[in-house]
Structure 1
Amino acid sequence: MKEKEKFSRRGFLKTAAVMGATLTVSPALDKVQAVTHTVSNNKNILTDSARAAAITAHRTLGTGKAAFDVSALGFGVMGMTYNRSYHPDKKQCIRLLHEAMERGVTLFDTAIVYGPLNNELLAGEAFGEFHGRVNVTTKFGHEVINGKATGRQDSRPATIRRYCEESLKRLRTDVIPMFYQHRFDPNTPVEDVAGTIQDLIKEGKVLHWGMCEVSADTIRKAHAVCPLTAIQSEYHLMHREVERNGVLDVCRELGIGFVPYSPMNRGFLGGDLNEYTEFDPNNDNRTTLPRFTPEAMRANYRIVSVLQRYGRERGMTAAQLALGWLLQKAPWIVPIPGTTKLSHLEENLRTLEFALTAEEWKQLEDAVAAIPVTGDRYNAEQQKQVGF
């Protein structure tokens, strides 16, 4: 890597802060060129990295008729309204979503249960007029009655159809690019779920489908009925279960894409959270997760320190290493980091500007693996909802 291409987290966050101020006051915020021009006129900040980060690399999820072309990094919309404590108002969230789109992100992820409902509504308002330019994927499965989640699963065929129609309206579209089953429903055979999706695809209401947090055996059964485009599960340097339980292996074998959610362990691997972080108890599921107690975060911060030290030697941030590690695992893996901050969007997109050797990635992986992770990722009740 050329020396001039390296940049520090502090440097580009200063640049992004100026850009953020420009976005706040400029009536033409959706023009990235205008933002870049404003920044470039500030001689104290101008560097080669001051240009607005953008993404041009694409990847393909799935194969054959199930193939789905998307940007190499997606965007998780969930935290803009749900489970991530405090967030900007709707207008600011939409501005950031548009900024991500202008910078080349084509894959945006939401779900019925996020909110519930208000996350889909946000995505619909932000992208309803951009059909064909971006793909907003959503999920069904968690039961929602009168706008409230019940904690139960319901993937009966009639329910899937109803959820599909309701999601189409909230997303302001006539077709869902990819419809995931959010969690396995033990009361509905997976073959019935796949058959229902197959019918919705034939009717033109759904283009592709996927499943979340399911076992390799369940994937095989579903794929045999209706080819899957992607599997979505938690996967990052602190949680690598899909490498051991056969999920990644079956995706590779059957030509199914993989979409890691929480690719930075709900923000932790980026280094912005620690034992003193206060989460909103009314809008943050991290208050219920054993891995996010103050004691666990204090112990696990050793992992973040490894990433920070390793990154300093290569001009990368901890977050960029976490995302880059996933991207180099396979060309059919597309992480979906979420954020409410322009500086973090900038940071995430710049991940693709770096190229480490296989040996360097292995050194990082081994250094992290040598540190035991403190705390389970879910409590006992939430763990029951995953398919393995």
Structure 2
Amino acid sequence: MTIKHGPELNRRGLLLAAGGLAAAATVDVASAQTAAQPTASAAASTTAIGRRKLGALEVSSVGLGVQNMSRTYQQTIPTRAEMHNIIRAAFDNGLTFYDAAEAYGPHEVERILGEGVEPFRDQIVIATKFGWNIDLETGERKPGLNSRPEHIKLVVEGMLKRLRTDRIDLLYQHRVDPQVPIEDVAGAVKGLMDQGKVLHWGLSEMGLNTLRRAHAVLPITAVQSEYSMLWRGPETGAIPVCEELGIGFVPWSPLGVGFLNGAIDARTRFAEGDIRGIEGRFAPENLPNNLALVELLKVWAERKQARLGQIALAWLLAQKPFIVPIPGTTQMAHMIENIGASAVSFTPAEITELNQSVAAIEIKGARLPDVVQAYSDVEAPTKS
């Protein structure tokens, strides 16, 4: 498949660019309409969003990923004013946890978030990430990763300006740099904490030994990795370690890039350049099998009078009390719907039943192309 080059990349497109590919083109997806799902009282219920702890950091039980607010998967550019409206409406509905990254945009998503939350900055938690090799001034993506301590300090200075704030509540290393010992990364972050510029820190998609080493040097508040009904890898890796060490867990892509809210069906074919088109789990030969998961969600959505995505998010919340998903959206209705997932509850018998049903569905196809997966589960070099 030929991948077209384009001016911007979505989250996975960024990984492809770092690995030597560029993924940016229009998307032609035959979407199943979520509007056809049952109307749910839970969708409108945002007053009981609740709070959870990531380590010692308290956040709303559902967060908001803002990664697509400068450019969507479909490569359209959302209206900036509407993105501000969504950010502010989320806060009005009890959401206090916003997730960004230097790499999203790059830089531009942090600017949008900083503008949006300025009126209530002191009442929320901002998380953002460093680690890709991005020009500090222009935002140009360069090959590979960069977690050199001196670079981290400069990156954070830029983040503070773009976010219009004097501190970052939760700073993640976006991907482990195989050239830099994690102890050196922790040392750089510790220096920023001593200056009050960073309050908590975390890792994303790291190797488990690196997580333990990092936590031993400077206690980790949260780990961020892909986790959903569609991708359950962390259940046997990162989540048990987080539970052991008292670290929070933040699932990205908790709705499986649209799959778990019905946006992909057996007829879906992706346009050239859409990263999902080269993910094995969405290949035409695998989709019919994997859609059994969506059919299961439909059964539970009707049973709970909720939306498909709400069931998927509520399932995550039911797995562990230290899990806080961060679904991303550029649509107001979807943001309200996602927050409403916190009002969907399961009895112990129901969650046991649902867990068994999910486990019985074997997902076919890899979650990411090899060139992208190569950036996950990386162990930092030992410190000499």
Give the shorter-chain TM-score range.
Answer: 0.7 to 0.9
Tell me the distance in 2 between the aligned counterparts of 1:292 and 1:149.
Answer: 27
Q: 1:168 aligns with which of 156, 160, 163?
A: 160
The 5 Å alignment of 1:262-301 reads 262-277=253-268, 284-301=274-291
Tell me the distance in 1 between the aligned counterparts of 2:360 and 2:120.
Answer: 46
Is residue 71 of structure 1 aligned with residue 60 of structure 2?
A: yes
After superposing the two structures, state which structure 1 stretch, 226-235 or 336-345, moved more.
336-345
Is residue 114 of structure 1 aligned with residue 125 of structure 2?
A: no
Counterpart of 1:38 in structure 2 is none
Tell me the distance in 2 between the aligned counterparts of 1:381 and 1:121.
Answer: 30
Counterpart of 1:90 in structure 2 is 80
Letter in 1 for 2:47: A
The 5 Å alignment of 1:89-238 reads 89-145=79-135, 146-238=138-230
Tell me the distance in 2 between the aligned counterparts of 1:134 and 1:212.
Answer: 21
Letter in 1 for 2:334: H
The 5 Å alignment of 1:233-272 reads 233-245=225-237, 247-272=238-263
Moved over 6 A (4+): none
- Counterpart contact for 1:110–1:139, Cα < 8 Å: yes
Q: Secondary structure at the match of 1:177?
A: strand
Tell me the distance in 2 between the aligned counterparts of 1:196 and 1:347.
Answer: 39
- Counterpart contact for 1:55–1:105, Cα < 8 Å: no
- Counterpart contact for 1:291–1:376, Cα < 8 Å: yes
Q: Secondary structure at the match of 2:225?
A: strand
Note the residue ranges of structure 2 that are not aligned, 5 or more in a row: 1-35, 379-384
Instruction: Answer with 1 or 2: which has the greater Rg.
Output: 1
Tell me the distance in 2 between the aligned counterparts of 1:217 and 1:83.
Answer: 34
Q: 2:51 aligns with which of 34, 58, 65?
A: 58
Ranked by relative contact order (alpha carbons within 8 Å, sequence separation 6 or more), the top structure is 2
- Counterpart contact for 1:87–1:340, Cα < 8 Å: no
Counterpart of 1:325 in structure 2 is 315
Would the alpha carbon gap of residues 127 and 261 (structure 1) be closer, same or farther in structure 2, given more than 3 Å must change? same
Tell me the distance in 2 between the aligned counterparts of 1:302 and 1:150.
Answer: 40
- Counterpart contact for 1:307–1:321, Cα < 8 Å: yes
Letter in 2 for 1:72: S
Tell me the distance in 2 between the aligned counterparts of 1:261 and 1:320.
Answer: 15
Tell me the TM-score normalised to structure 1 length: 0.82
Would the alpha carbon gap of residues 287 and 166 (structure 1) be closer, same or farther in structure 2, given more than 3 Å must change? farther
RMSD over aligned Cα, in angstroms?
A: 2.1
- Counterpart contact for 1:55–1:349, Cα < 8 Å: no
- Counterpart contact for 1:237–1:365, Cα < 8 Å: no
Tell me the distance in 2 between the aligned counterparts of 1:310 and 1:256.
Answer: 30
Tell me the distance in 2 between the aligned counterparts of 1:87 and 1:190.
Answer: 36
